[in-house]
Amino acid sequence: MPMPTGEMLAALPDFVRNDVLCQAVDDARMTGIIGGPVRREVRPDGSGDLAACHIVSPGNDIEITTTTSGTSSSDAAEVLVHGKRARLEHLGDRTEVSVPVLPGSESAQNYPYGVRPILSIKQRPGADDKVTAVATAVLEAATKPGPSIPKDDETRIPPRRADPTPGFGVIGSAWPQITWQLCTILADEAHLDLQAAEAKFDGECSIESGNVRTYARSSEVTSRDDTAHFTETISGRPASRDAGGITVKLTDEPAPTANFAATGPFPPGFDYKAFTERVVAKLVGKG
């Protein structure tokens, strides 16, 4: 997975968040912090409180995730982690550190829906130096200089150019980056003005020009049974087509998918089939 930069760690979609966190710190550094050999597993969203990147080594059990709020216990101590004020708490044999990813954030209250502004690290048995070292390593890897979380105005954000990541496309990006990538793909492939795009924070973009309208949205498939509806193949990916446009499975997992459509009349020579092939190729990082 591509690593987020700037504040984008706080806006990763549920279906990739813990995968990204599990890949943030390489084995050599993680082993140096907690000992080894290191084993990792991703507990996907939907696992309740267990949803996290789970890392184990002899004598260590660590969970890494981002959350909407950190510890509020009056017993928590204030510590400095990667230059950020964090809160450290001991609960029985567990030590937990909560680090704000965004400036001055203690909860998701003041941010768009879907933002998880707190990095949470839990370790059993507890060891202050280890849990803060893991948090530091994650932040160093996943918050290198980059874009800020855009201001949310009824979910709309300013459009900007953002090319899909080669080899990944929109997969693994944070929600606003997915939106910017979708807008860029639609503008380029339908020959429309990017600045005319209506961009939304949670992975949705539409562009209108005259009577031509294009639309794209990235989302999750809620059930594996939905795969039965993907009866076509576009640029090597399973796809379905209905009145709402074309929906494409971007990976072999239930999520994510992307739905897109374009309606005309189009200019002479516009090849809709070729348009769909190019869009899908870019969505998965092959364009």
Crossing angle (nearest 10°) for helices 128-142 and 27-34: 160
CA separation, residue 89 to residues 56, 79, 243 (Å): 20, 10, 53
Residues 6+ apart with CB under 8 A from 32: none
| 238/105 Cα distance (integer angstroms) | 40
Nearest to 119 by CA among 80, 74, 69: 69
Q: How is residue 220 written in tokens?
A: 């999750």
Beta-sheet pairing, 84-91 with 257-263: unpaired
Neighbouring CB atoms inside 10 A of 71's CB total 18
Crossing angle (nearest 10°) for helices 128-142 and 14-23: 110
Mean pLDDT across the stretch 162-177? 93
Span of 31-35, 50-54, 69-73, 283-287 with lowest mean pLDDT: 69-73
| 5/146 Cα distance (integer angstroms) | 5
* Rg (the chain; Cα; Å): 21
Nearest to 27 by CA among 43, 39, 42: 39
| Domains by residue range for the chain, with CATH | 8-142 (3.40.1000), 156-283 (no CATH)
Positive or negative torsion for Cα 214, 216, 221, 222: negative
Average pLDDT of the residues of the chain: 86
Residue 65's pLDDT is what? 92
User: One-letter amino acid identity for 221?
Assistant: V
| 119/3 Cα distance (integer angstroms) | 15
| 116/138 Cα distance (integer angstroms) | 15
Residue 151's pLDDT is what? 67
Nearest to 187 by CA among 164, 166, 168, 167: 164
Q: For 24-67, how does the pLDDT look when each residue is reduced to its tens digit (9 = 90+)?
A: 999 999 999 988 789 999 876 555 555 789 999 888 899 999 98
For residues 43 and 120, the model is more confident at 120
Phi then psi dihedrals of residue 200, to 5 deg = -120, 150
Nearest to 34 by CA among 153, 110, 164, 131: 131
Span of 63-67, 126-130, 166-170, 237-241 with lowest mean pLDDT: 126-130
CA separation, residue 257 to residues 81, 217, 237 (Å): 36, 8, 10
Task: Identify the three-state secondary structure at position 99.
Answer: strand
Beta-sheet pairing, 204-209 with 197-200: antiparallel
Write down how long the chain is.
287
Helices (H), 143-217: 175-190
Q: For 197-248, how does the pLDDT look when each residue is reduced to its tens digit (9 = 90+)?
A: 999 998 999 999 878 889 999 986 544 446 667 889 999 999 988 877 898 9
